[in-house]
Amino acid sequence: MPYTNDYLKNSGIDITALKGVTLDSRTVKQGYLFAAIKGEKADGRDYIDAAIKNGASVILTDKFYEPPNSIDLSSVQLVKSDNPKRDISYIAAAFYAPIPEHVIAVTGTNGKSSVVHFSEQLWRKEGVKGMMMGTLTNALTTPDAVTLFEAMGLLKKNNGITHMAIEASSHGLAQYRVDGASIKVGAFTNFTQDHLDYHADMDNYFAAKKRLFEELVPIDGAAVLNADVPAYPTLRDICKNRGVKVVSYGQKGEDLILREHRITGVSQEVVLDVFGERFELTIPFVGEFQIMNMLCSLGCLLSSTPDDKGRIKMLTNFLPTLQGVPGRLQHISDPSGIYNGYVDYAHTPDALETVLKALRPHTENRLICVFGCGGDRDATKRPLMGDIAARLADIAIITDDNPRSENPVIIRKAIEDGISKDIKNQKEILNIEGRRDAIRQAATLMREGDILLLAGKGHERGQIIGDKLLPFDDASELETALKNKTE
């Protein structure tokens, strides 16, 4: 990371003299560096005085900061930066070094968790000390830079972890959280509407994703790109213009190609070409997109050894043994196996459409969908998701999903307003307050051969109502509802 050394030398910050690094003035102790950064909800510059009184020795902030006369800066080193968000990432990485030296960073609207989860399993197969980090291991998809690099440093020190697969969210990329990581491979899954409450429009959202390939993947690294999505030509050209190796996957891919795909019960039979080698496999998962996530993960690992036929064969033949991600099309049935349901994290229009389309070929009778939309988040997707669920499911049940500070009645109405009168006349559309009640009523409606999808929460173990996080688990709720149905 040449920028790290140049920055630290030019800034005059002595990393070896620091006792700690933090973004929270309340955790400052003697000899700490405090990064006073303006955020969405709070301005760290307002807490500089408190940080100094708590013992800070270095204050990092933006170049526009002008300290009021009431603050005594005589005891601290004040460092002003053009981009303190970026710089704290490099400082944290240096402070907590050594950190894992091989990082796969995965971005995209959907599929990130599955790709990093599969990557960890593939590393384990070949004896590499690799680990994933993201939605399944953190409250945030990409934690703040200090939290991220502290965790990576501890994993390296205590567990000998050398490889990491991390989810690079659009927030994390826009806020420079992963800039200090030793990224060797950047991967892109797909791009559809999400997080417009933060990014304002799709152009800004895509710009955040592009940063991974425009700035962070080194020229001696690799970019693993989904060739089947509209964003592919843009990302491919960005990488090729920089001299970064491109590995493409998908039906239109050149390196990892999905040649054939056939559904067999709750499994899929596929024919793959992996760097010129042909494989015929049975994958015990529902959904073609899971095949794509597997190819993405496989491409990330094989990008450095595309000519190693032995490694290609070993890792590709391991795909059928991969374990699915909790809350990603997680299969749940009653004890007798008569009634089947799935729990999925799909909380965007594209993800919901993809999951419903994936389940339809496996559905003998009716497809029932229970879903909602989160409060204090992108409101424009609510009517879109209502339309998708009503069109693609036989029974659509609108309910609550983390309403937060918003009135859940208003959220559900916005979802229902997206459903046309014609579809309402053709389909069964229910609006049920309370997610537990909605799940139980959905179970009572089930007949043999139906499939029930609970969409939106996936692996989450809580329901955010107001400012409280209440225990709630879709998987256990569905398991209980289906069990009660057969008793």
Rounded mean pLDDT of 168-196? 84
Q: Tens of pLDDT along 32-44?
A: 999 999 887 789 9
Please tell me the predicted confidence (pLDDT) of residue 137.
Answer: 56
pTM: 0.81
Determine the angle formed by the axes of helices 2-11 and 84-95, rounding to 10 degrees: 100
Please tell me the predicted confidence (pLDDT) of residue 286.
Answer: 87
Q: Tens of pLDDT along 234-251?
A: 999 999 999 999 999 999
Domain covering 96-321 assigned CATH 3.40.1190.10 in the classification: yes
CB atoms within 10 A of CB 183: 21
Please tell me the predicted confidence (pLDDT) of residue 382.
Answer: 97
Position 197 confidence tier, pLDDT thresholds 50, 70, 90: very low
- pLDDT of residue 140 exceeding 60, the answer is no
**Which CATH superfamily includes the segment(s) 2-82?**
MurE/MurF, N-terminal domain (3.40.1390.10)
Q: Tens of pLDDT along 421-443?
A: 999 999 999 999 999 999 999 99
Respond yes or no on whether the N-terminal peptide bond of residue 233 is cis (omega within 30° of 0).
no
Side-chain-side CA neighbours of residue 80 (13 Å): 6
Rounded mean pLDDT of 19-43? 93
Q: Tens of pLDDT along 340-374?
A: 999 999 998 988 998 999 999 889 999 999 999 99
- pLDDT of residue 11 exceeding 90, the answer is no
Please tell me the predicted confidence (pLDDT) of residue 169.
Answer: 86
Sort 307 into a burial class: Cβ within 10 Å, 0-12 / 13-18 / 19+: exposed
Rounded mean pLDDT of 218-235? 95
Rounded mean pLDDT of 45-49? 96
Q: Tens of pLDDT along 154-181?
A: 999 999 999 999 999 888 898 899 999 9
Identity at 15, one-letter amino acid code:
I
Across 157-161, 210-214, 444-448, least confident range? 210-214
- pLDDT of residue 10 exceeding 90, the answer is no
CB atoms within 10 A of CB 473: 17
**Which CATH superfamily includes the segment(s) 330-486?**
Mur ligase, C-terminal domain (3.90.190.20)
- pLDDT of residue 3 exceeding 60, the answer is no
Averaged confidence pLDDT in the chain: 92
Contact 335, 372 (CB under 8 A): no
Please tell me the predicted confidence (pLDDT) of residue 142.
Answer: 61
- pLDDT of residue 193 exceeding 80, the answer is no
Rounded mean pLDDT of 3-14? 70
Q: Tens of pLDDT along 271-318?
A: 999 999 999 999 988 888 899 999 999 999 999 999 999 999 999 999
**Domain chopping of the chain, boundaries:** 2-82, 96-321, 330-486
For residues 204-219, one letter each, b for 16 or more C-beta atoms within 10 angstroms of the residue's C-beta and e for the rest, the string is ebeebbbbbbbebbbe
Rounded mean pLDDT of 133-158? 80
Position 110 confidence tier, pLDDT thresholds 50, 70, 90: confident
For residues 38-47, one letter each, b for 16 or more C-beta atoms within 10 angstroms of the residue's C-beta and e for the rest, the string is eeeeeebbeb
Give dist(CA 55, CA 34) in Å, integer.
10
Share of the chain above pLDDT 70, in %: 94
